[in-house]
Amino acid sequence: MRRIIIDATKCDGCKNCTLACMQAHSEREGSIYDLDLTDISNESRNHIVQAFDGTYKPIFCRHCDQPECVMSCMSGALQKDKETGLVLYNEAKCGSCFMCVMNCPYGVLKADTKTRTKVIKCDFCIDAGGEPSCVKACPKQAIYVEEV
């Protein structure tokens, strides 16, 4: 199983990972330079927060071994894939109760800003194959994929 691992000591808050995630999930084709930052449908599945001491904390889905989001999902929209170890989201099954958002111990999951009817969460850029966009975009290698 592959997981995104964070080394927060290397993060300088550049937010390249956030922009890469937004571009990877954007409905418009193009490069990062074509990304419309004012379009609320372009949401990142991760975010960076700055701590009081000035350090940065990348907040990413951990695809937990025993994910609280999956255990609290009454509709079955969130499932843990036994082969890949990824927590996957099926929007068609989502009842928009947002119990998963409330139960994520890391504060990663969120309701989409545009419709407030679906959950925004990391999908490991599974459709693109290879490395997730955030990992490829990190110039400090603070985000990397590891076999666990």
| Exposure string for 26-48, b = 16+ CB within 10 A, e = fewer | beeeeeeeeeeeeeeebbbbbbb
- Per-residue pLDDT band for 126 (boundaries 50, 70, 90) equals confident
> What's the whole-number mean pLDDT along residues 23-36?
85
Give CA–CA dist 49/10, Å, rounded.
Answer: 14
- What are the domain boundaries of the chain? 1-60+122-148, 63-121
CB 135 within 8 A of CB 125: no
The pLDDT, as a whole number, for residue 30 is: 78
The Cα angle at residue 99 between residues 111 and 146, in degrees rounded to 5: 75
Tell me the pLDDT tens digit for each residue of 43-82. Answer: 999 999 999 999 999 999 999 999 999 999 999 999 999 9
**0.85 exceeded by pTM:** yes
With 90 as the cut, is the pLDDT of residue 85 above it?
yes
> What's the whole-number mean pLDDT along residues 116-121?
95
> What's the whole-number mean pLDDT along residues 32-36?
85
- Per-residue pLDDT band for 148 (boundaries 50, 70, 90) equals confident
- Per-residue pLDDT band for 128 (boundaries 50, 70, 90) equals confident
Encoded amino acid at 96, one letter: S
What 8-state DSSP symbol labels residue 83? T
> What's the whole-number mean pLDDT along residues 10-25?
94
Give CA–CA dist 132/99, Å, rounded.
Answer: 26
CATH of domain 63-121: 3.30.70.20
CB 73 within 8 A of CB 64: no
Do the domains spanning 1-60+122-148 and 63-121 agree at the CATH topology level? yes
Length of the chain: 148
> What's the whole-number mean pLDDT along residues 78-105?
96
| CATH classification (class only), 1-60+122-148 | alpha beta
Give CA–CA dist 49/60, Å, rounded.
Answer: 11
